[in-house]
Amino acid sequence: MESRNTFSQSDARKTALELENKSAEEILLWSSKTFGGKLVLSTSFQATGMVILDMLSKISPTTRVITLDTGRLPKATYELIDDVQKRYGIEIEVQYPDNNELKNIVTKHGINMFYRSYSLRLLCCEKRKVEPLNRALTHFDAWITGLTRHQGGIRTDIPKVSIDKSHGNMLKINPIADWTTEMIWDYIEKNKIPYNKLYDEGYTSIGCDPCTRPIKKHEDDRSGRWWWEKGMPKECGIHFNTKTD
Ligand code: SF4
């Protein structure tokens, strides 16, 4: 691993307090000035990520953007990736699973292993999402995410800045942590940003095609993810360590 510009735990806490009442744009500007080419946005092109990507295109257009192609994404997500590249003229650095590792688990457990047990679902997420992201993040000192507190569960208390112990103590920056769903869609509408068309079909959180469905009235935003699992965290392991958090 390359050496990193890391923050101490106390510096990260102090910075989180300082940035808590700053706007998302101010936080992105601070991030860009602090980390330069060692800053990256990781996005799955959900509404939150699109807001940040649009802001970054105005504040720091050279900040690198990565995404994970799990091989199981919905058609609408691939179409959006294409649209975004054309509209913003940026390179989206697509990260892929290791082909051999994928072949091994699919041969052993089947192409739709995730429906059979929670541990097989986590194994699929590990190989298709967590490990490719881990490999990509080793090249950076700080990463930006679209996590928000309103998504609930273990996201309810996320700070705007924290040390990411799962990724070599790099800084994790959540500039719109305090945004509501209304604020996100207001921004998208006002700025005429492209968005994933599955939102128009009742989806409120969009991941892989076989593991995501639209929600019913009164269900929470992430209940359409891995909907067949009861009482398990609606997480894949990218943002929270499913073994320890
Ligand atoms: S969301 Fe589903 S298909 Fe995608 S990596 Fe996780 S288990 Fe596999």
DSSP letter assigned to residue 63: S
Distance 185 CA to ligand 1 centre (A): 26
List Cα–Cα distances, 133 to 62, 150, 217, 237, in angstroms. Answer: 20, 24, 33, 10
Topology given in CATH for the domain delimited by 9-211: Rossmann fold (3.40.50)
For residue 124, indicate whether it is catalytic: no
Mutating to test ligand 1, I would choose from 68, 77, 114, 228 the residue with most ligand atoms within 8 A of its C-beta, which is: 114
CA angle in degrees (0–180, nearest 5) for 95-98-101: 150
| Ligand 1 lined by 46 (C-beta under 6 Å) | no
C-alpha to C-alpha distance for 40 and 137, rounded to whole angstroms: 8
Backbone conformation region of residue 214, classed left if phi is above 0, alpha if psi is from -120 to 50, else beta: beta
Adjacent-strand bridge partners of 161: 173
Element housing 111 (H / E): none
- Name the residue ranges covered by the structural domains of the chain: 9-211
Q: What is the pLDDT of residue 175?
A: 98
Distance 211 CA to ligand 1 centre (A): 6
| Ligand 1 lined by 70 (C-beta under 6 Å) | yes
Tokens 């860009």 belong to which residue?
32
| Ligand 1 lined by 77 (C-beta under 6 Å) | no
CA contacts within 13 A on the Cβ side of 93: 14
Which is it for strands 142-144 and 39-42: parallel, antiparallel or unpaired? parallel
Share of the chain above pLDDT 90, in %: 82
Residue ranges of the chain whose pLDDT lies below 70: 1-3, 242-245
Distance 118 CA to ligand 1 centre (A): 11
Q: Write out the two tokens for 22.
A: 């700053």
Q: What is the edge-to-edge ordering of all strands in the sheet holding 170-173? A: 92-95, 64-68, 39-42, 142-144, 170-173, 161-164
Which is it for strands 142-144 and 170-173: parallel, antiparallel or unpaired? parallel
C-alpha to C-alpha distance for 19 and 96, rounded to whole angstroms: 33
Per residue in 44-99, pLDDT tens?
999 999 999 999 999 999 999 999 999 999 999 999 999 999 999 999 999 999 99
CA contacts within 13 A on the Cβ side of 106: 13
Distance 121 CA to ligand 1 centre (A): 7
| Ligand 1 lined by 124 (C-beta under 6 Å) | yes
Tell which atom from ligand 1 comes closest to the C-alpha of 127: 5
List Cα–Cα distances, 129 to 47, 62, 96, 132, in angstroms. Answer: 19, 24, 8, 6
C-alpha to C-alpha distance for 223 and 233, rounded to whole angstroms: 10
List Cα–Cα distances, 127 to 7, 52, 95, 169, 237, in angstroms. Answer: 29, 26, 12, 22, 11
Q: What is the pLDDT of residue 153?
A: 73
| Ligand 1 lined by 236 (C-beta under 6 Å) | yes
